[in-house]
Structure 1
Amino acid sequence: MYSSTEPFRCSAFAAYRRTLKHSLILTDKRSGPASSTPSMAPKNLKPGDLDEIKSSILKLEVSLTGLIQNQNQEIVRELHLIRAEKEKLKQAVEERDVRIKKLEILADDLDQCRRANELIISGLQLTPGPGDTVAQLAIAKLKEFGINMEPLDIRCCLLLPSGGRGPATVLMKLADHKTKTALLNQHRHLKGSKIFLNDNLTRRNAEIARKARQLKKAGKIANTCVSDCRILVKTQDMKIKAITSLDQLTTIAG
């Protein structure tokens, strides 16, 4: 590839060769006739040629210094541009992460709204008979503890996997929010039975509720509960706050 600096390099090399040639001439003159180095001095060397050589070398040094400075300045400018572009990309990534987090929270909130009329009933000892459905078995077991329900109160009822051992866990979707609230208000009948009625929380809210229970056990908050799919905590100064993120919970706990 042709470079605009090629003529300059050729002239610099030629000046270097002339300098080396005249240096050998001067060395040959100083060493005298006994020197074994053959004389390379031109016959027409003039006294002013040495000054011309010095001047050429000085000009060469100035030119090279200017060229190096220009190249360094260009490199510095390119580095500044690269750093500026890096900062822009970093800012764009941070803004993207913020948007993604907001969308994830929005999607989780919508999913929690979809689960508003659902309950997780755990600790049920179910003994299925011929033709019995999960809903019928759950209603019969709850009636043993004084909780009255009708089949029409239930939209669907699913038996969740439990590995085939221990009490059953049931996902129950109720007809409406009023029915769910009425059922939860009867949870006092289940005291001491090891049967629990809980909101069907999303994974994010379930993790927040689990962390809140740990903080209560550690004595960093006064109390915690889940009410209508919302995680509530009572701080050490007896203030009740709704928790929507783990970061908020960590800040409250100190």
Structure 2
Amino acid sequence: MPPKKVNNISEEEMEEIRKSLNYMSEELSKVVKQQAMLLDLMGEVKQLKSLVKEKDKTIELLERRIDDLEQYTRMEDLIISGLETTHKTYASTTAGRRNGEDAPTEELQTLEKQVIQFFESKNMYIDSKNITACHTLPRKDRETKPAIIVRFVNRKHKIELLRQAKKLKGTRVYLNEHLTKKNADIARQPRFLKKQQKIQSTWTRNCKVMIRLNGTPEESKVLLKQL
């Protein structure tokens, strides 16, 4: 006996349709569940991104504080570059001793004396009692003159010497404050602008970068916090 037909559709065909609909319904349920899971994951990712953003802000703030603290410890320092010195004794040279901070006390005193004598030759006077440390900084190669760091008892002695830096014009010896890497990078950018004549001048004061814009009075200045 042939299968019954409903609206010209056999029972077997109806059964196949039901199975297909059930299968589609199950698959649709799976898709809905997956969508729900994706939405939950997207919500979690959004929260994580927000947390990472807050963490980045916290890290940036902490890095700025660390840099400020590091800079504060250098407030009494001056860096002398371009000065020719012979602060290493023959005995220490033959013995292979290192200069700088590892050098013996008498060699450091010799370096200090040479620095003081140089400045005296330029009518720039330093009292040795106002110096707490004087040594060379590590250099990248032997061809360049080592930079010398001088630490003063207090900030006013450093500022007093900096104010006389114009007397060094033509000597190829330069005085600079001991900046952190971050502040040194900031200070480097306006120097390029000065060479391009986009600003009138730039300098540092108490380890803060200052600039004077073109067309502004000599007494005016701008504190450069960041570029």
Superposition TM-score, scaled by structure 1 size: 0.71
Are 2:74 and 2:179, in contact at CA under 8 Å, matched by a contact in 1?
yes
How many angstroms does 1:46 deviate by?
Answer: 5.5
Q: What runs of 5+ residues in structure 1 fail to find an aligned partner?
A: 1-44, 250-254
- Range moving further from structure 2, 222-231 or 126-135: 126-135
- Range moving further from structure 2, 199-208 or 141-150: 141-150
- Residues 1-254 of structure 1 mapped to structure 2, 5 A cutoff: 45=1, 47-48=3-4, 51-128=10-87, 133-162=110-139, 163-236=141-214, 238=216, 240-245=221-226, 249=227
Distance 1:91 1:204 in 2: 27
The SS at the match of 2:199 is coil
Question: Considering only aligned residues, what root-mean-square deviation do their CA atoms show, in Å?
Answer: 2.3
Are 1:119 and 1:200, in contact at CA under 8 Å, matched by a contact in 2?
yes
Are 2:86 and 2:111, in contact at CA under 8 Å, matched by a contact in 1?
no
Distance 1:186 1:141 in 2: 13
Superposition TM-score, scaled by structure 2 size: 0.79
**1:147 counterpart letter in structure 2:** M
Are 2:3 and 2:11, in contact at CA under 8 Å, matched by a contact in 1?
no
The count of residues paired between Structure 1 and Structure 2 equals 202
Q: What runs of 5+ residues in structure 2 fail to find an aligned partner?
A: 90-105
Cα separation, partners in 2 of 1:61 and 1:161, compared to 1, 3 Å = closer
- Kindly indicate whether structure 1 or structure 2 has the higher relative contact order, using CA contacts under 8 Å at least 6 residues apart: 2
How many angstroms does 1:156 deviate by?
Answer: 0.6
The SS at the match of 1:119 is strand
The SS at the match of 1:201 is coil
**1:243 counterpart letter in structure 2:** L
Are 2:67 and 2:182, in contact at CA under 8 Å, matched by a contact in 1?
yes
